[in-house]
Structures are given as structure tokens and as C-alpha cells.
Structure 1
Amino acid sequence: FFGIVYKKLEERASSRRNKRIIVKLSYLRFTMSRKEALSQFINQIHGRPVVVKLNSGVDYRGVLACLDGYMNIALDQTEEYVNGQLKNKYGDAFIRGNNVLYISTQKRRV
């Protein structure tokens, strides 16, 4: 759909207004693909081992149980690492989203 609209507007892009519409449609198509990619990533890592890095530099490693739109994270079998050293083990952990720097996958534990 967006490709058809984009081509039609491109043909009529003689005025400044139409050029702005083309740019907006291109941005919309780009942001929708980013949202879809993020959604696919979340679906792929659900139930798998992840590393959650906090703004403070602390890492939490565990199995991703839940993730919401605010980046609030629930982990099972959680381990806390400070400066690369294991500090604590938790059964379940909840991490508030505003503390999260990034989430990455890790290899499954043996």
C-alpha cells in the first residue's frame, strides 16, 4: 500500500507540499518497520536466557518471563552480576523499565 501511494505522490511532487508528504510517508514506513522488528525480537527472546544491563552498570541474567511496553522486565532464575562477579541469585526478579540500558540474548545455560 505505501509503495503505491509513494509512487503516485512522487509523480506529483512538483510542489513543496507534496515533497513534504513524501518525506513523511517514507518516515512512517521506516518507523513501522522498526516497530515490527522490535516486536519480532521480543517474541523471539520470550522464554529464553537474556542479559539485562542497567544504567548503573549492573547485569541481571535470567530467563525472560515478561516484557511490557514500558520495558518493565520479569525474569526467572535471575543472577545479579556486579563488575562481572556473581553477587546474588534470585528466583524471580522484576526490573523497572526506566533503569534498563539494554537487553541482549545469551547462550542457554547447561
Structure 2
Amino acid sequence: MEDNKITEKIIGAAIEVHRALGPGLLESAYQECLFFELKSIGLNVKKEVSLPIIYKEIKLDHGYRIDLLVEEKIVLELKTVEKFTEVHSAQILTYMKLGNYPLGLLVNFHTKLLKNGIKRFINTY
């Protein structure tokens, strides 16, 4: 399936979750519900994917954890914050770079309209 089509499905599922739950819950609640929703529409999705850090000859297995990884190529980083900061953007870009993933979506469920809480990223590394 084409990356843009997958992204559309992810955004649609996120909107569905946001419509049902609204803002104000913990990130973990949205993560579980979005995981369920993505699975139910037939996407391959994993949660809390370990992302080791390799520095020279040292491998740190307990590096980071990607909230959701869709179709082995799209990183979803979920937030429940007042607004995105540069650190949030840097975080998802780092995950994409370390895992060599082509696309990422930063999704903030703490918004009135979810479309205002979604940023798409492309790995240019």
C-alpha cells in the first residue's frame, strides 16, 4: 500500500479515537485505542517498539521506545500537550533517523480539533 494511503488511514483512525474520547485523557489511553483502531482496519501495527542506540561500537538496547510503528515504516509519536515544541519535533525525527523509517506522524490528542494536532515528517537523512 502506498505511504500516503497508509497515512490517510492512520489519520482517519486517530480522528475516530479523538471523536470518541475527546481531549483530556492520558497518552496511554489514546495509544491503546489507536492501536486497536489501526489493527481493526487491517494495518500492521506494533506498540512500544524498542529502538536501540548505536554509538561507535556501543549498542544501548534500552534507548527509546516508539509509541506506534505502522507497516514497519511509519512512526507515530503520540502526545497530550498544550502545544508542540521543538523538542517534540526533534524526538520524532531522531526516532525516524535511528530506525531509518521514511515517515512519521506527531499526533497531539490534547486539541479541540485533532486535525490541528497532527504534524507529518519525512526522513531526509
- What range describes the TM-score normalised by the shorter chain of this pair? under 0.3
> Which structure's residues are more often strand, by fraction?
1
Bigger Rg, which one: 1
Q: TM-score, normalised by structure 1?
A: 0.24
